[in-house]
Amino acid sequence: MRSTFHGLEVSKRGLFAQQSALNTTGHNISNANTEGYTRQRANMQATTGIPYPGMFANVEPGLLGTGVNVVSLQRLREDFLDVQYRNEHKRQGYWDGRLETLEKLEGIMNEPSDTGLQKVMDQMWQSWQDLAKDPTNTSARAVVRERSKAFADTLNSTYKHLEEVQRDLNNVIGVKAMEINSLGEQIASLNRQIADVVPHGYVPNDLYDQRDVLLDKLSKLVEIRTTPGASGTVNVTIEGRDFVNGAQSQPVATQQNANGLFDLTIAGAAFIPTTGYMAGVYESRSQIVPNLMHRLDVLAVNLTKEINDLHRQGVSLNDIKNGTAQDLPFFVDASTPAGGKDYPKGAGTIRIHPDILGSLDAIAAGQPEPGGNTAGNNKNALAIAAIKFTVIQPGPGPMDLKESSSLDDYYRYTIGQLGIDTQEAKRNLQNSEMIVGTIDNHRQSISGVSIDDEMAELVKFQHAYSASARMMTSIDEILDKVINGMGRVGL
């Protein structure tokens, strides 16, 4: 049997329910531009009815509706899309990290151009040809020296640039490790807050949103996997190792290794990132840049060896004057002690022999002649100029070429490889960006706030609210009639 005020109660429930739906709509609209916000919906359900037996019909009683209640505020989100998003996001991060480095390297190598190493090398070979034309000419010798110096300087400075890039990347690894840790701590702290309220039956939607944003960010940096924990918490692993466990997070630490570069550890155990921005940077620092440096080293070592071997057998103007063979290498290593003849050990340490810097006449343009050496002999200059086309044979050593090619080809191949790698990174990044964009669109399609939607809801709930209020007025009028208008006959 219903009470007299049943109608008032039903209307009141309607008012409350519509109002809380209106509030949810307002919350959605307010957060339309909040990063990672998931739109919420007030799920309404009719409250349990009460038996209402008929007065005249001898049948089973019916159920009288008692109004409505908001049973939950639901976050409209699809977990599967989060998994997809994070999977692709790490790939985007990886290619992003690689591309940044590769583009920097392209800038440093500056090829093809009229100022790159190729041009400097070409000019060096030209200068030897010019010396061959005029072996006694001091200015031709000066040009050989200056062009060779330009070659050495260019290699030195390119190498130094690469070292700087490597150091930079190493710093980035340190900074990104801190960023990962900060994200981990925030996730752990959100886990704690969530675990505090969930057992009491609350659904902390907005905390979930915040945590999902952090997980999205983290997924760009490293390979993560998430598993749901107790009381609404989430556990995160990095590269299969525990990172966030409930309210606890393990720090990702950097440790300087023997080369002065950072190694990564998580909870004390070393790991190498395999994907994500961190891996892109890590590989850049440990592979891409050192590989390029090594190729420059190989170029420098082989090229200077070819020149040195010939130059030592040659005859310089000083040799002719003094009647002795000086046996001078043209290029030496920066670490060579005075009077030493150490060949350059790498692109960063190639220098011109100090004696040649001291005297142009120390350049050996000629080769020994059986009838006595002469100043006009240009055979050595010609032989050195021909190194440009000499095919160097491969060898087993670390500084040997791995395939037979001329040094010119070797350098061009290096640049070509750099171009291909950059192109690959660019293409993959673009693809990843597109996929991430598509997945994000799907996610937005489900979770994003649409002002149009919300406005429609607003109108809907507003009308429902007004109608409930109107209902209340009707009940009021009815009761007024019953209380004040009835039983007053004759009064």
Partner 1 sequence: MAIRVTQNMLNNNMLRNLHQSMRHMDKLQEQLSSGKKVSRPSDDPVVATRGMFYRSSLMEVEQYQRNVDDAESWVELTDKTLDEVGNVMQRISELLVYSGDGALSSSDLQAMAQEVAQLKEHLGTLANQQLNGKYIFGGSATNIAPYNPAAPTVSGGVGDFTSTNSEEVNLEVSQNVFVGININAQNVFNYPNNAGNMFNVLDQILNTLNAGKSAASFGTAIKDQFDNLLSERAILGAKANRIELVKDRLSVQEVNVTGLMSKNEDADSAKVITELKSQENVHRAALGAGARIIQPTLLDFLR
Based on CB atoms, which residue is closest to partner 1, 127 or 235? 127
CA-angle at 91, arms to 87 and 95, nearest 5°? 170
Based on CB atoms, which residue is closest to partner 1, 238 or 362? 362
Task: Report d(CA 452, CA 29) in Å as an integer.
Answer: 10
Based on CB atoms, which residue is closest to partner 1, 228 or 437? 437
Minimum distance of partner 1 from residue 454's CB (angstroms): 9
**């991430």: which residue's tokens?**
436
Based on CB atoms, which residue is closest to partner 1, 455 or 482? 455
Q: How big, in percent rounded to 5, are the helix, strand and coil portions of the chain?
A: 60, 15, 25
- Any bridge partners for residue 256, and if so which? 262
Minimum distance of partner 1 from residue 16's CB (angstroms): 25
Q: Helices (H) and strands (E) in the chain — how many of each?
A: 12, 17
Minimum distance of partner 1 from residue 103's CB (angstroms): 8
- Residues 74, 23 contacting (CB under 8 angstroms): no
Minimum distance of partner 1 from residue 420's CB (angstroms): 5
Checking DSSP bridges between strand 391-392 and strand 68-75, what pairing results, if any? unpaired
Among the residues of 198-270, which ranges form H helices? 205-221
Task: Report d(CA 154, CA 146) in Å as an integer.
Answer: 12
Based on CB atoms, which residue is closest to partner 1, 221 or 429? 429
Based on CB atoms, which residue is closest to partner 1, 215 or 315? 315
Minimum distance of partner 1 from residue 429's CB (angstroms): 12
Based on CB atoms, which residue is closest to partner 1, 134 or 146? 134
Checking DSSP bridges between strand 241-245 and strand 68-75, what pairing results, if any? unpaired
Task: Report d(CA 292, CA 295) in Å as an integer.
Answer: 5
Minimum distance of partner 1 from residue 314's CB (angstroms): 13
Q: Which amino acid is at 350?
A: I
Based on CB atoms, which residue is closest to partner 1, 244 or 293? 293
Token couple for 370? 């059986």
Minimum distance of partner 1 from residue 368's CB (angstroms): 11
Question: Residues in the site for partner 1, rule: CB under 8 A?
Answer: 32-33, 102-103, 106, 109, 111-112, 114, 118-119, 122-123, 125-126, 129-130, 132-137, 366, 369, 371, 374-379, 382, 385-386, 388-389, 408, 412-413, 415-423, 426, 437, 440-442, 444-446, 448-453, 455-456, 459
Beta strands in 197-261 (DSSP E): 224-228, 234-238, 241-245, 248-249, 252-256
Minimum distance of partner 1 from residue 462's CB (angstroms): 11
Radius of gyration of the chain (CA): 40
Based on CB atoms, which residue is closest to partner 1, 216 or 223? 216
DSSP 374-404: -TT--HHHHHHHGGGGPEEPP-SSTTS-SS-
Rounded to 5 degrees, φ, ψ at 343 are: -75, 155
Minimum distance of partner 1 from residue 117's CB (angstroms): 10
Q: Which amino acid is at 201?
A: G
Token couple for 486? 């009835």
Task: Report d(CA 273, CA 208) in Å as an integer.
Answer: 27
Based on CB atoms, which residue is closest to partner 1, 209 or 223? 209
Minimum distance of partner 1 from residue 176's CB (angstroms): 24
Among the residues of 198-316, which ranges form H helices? 205-221, 277-283, 289-313
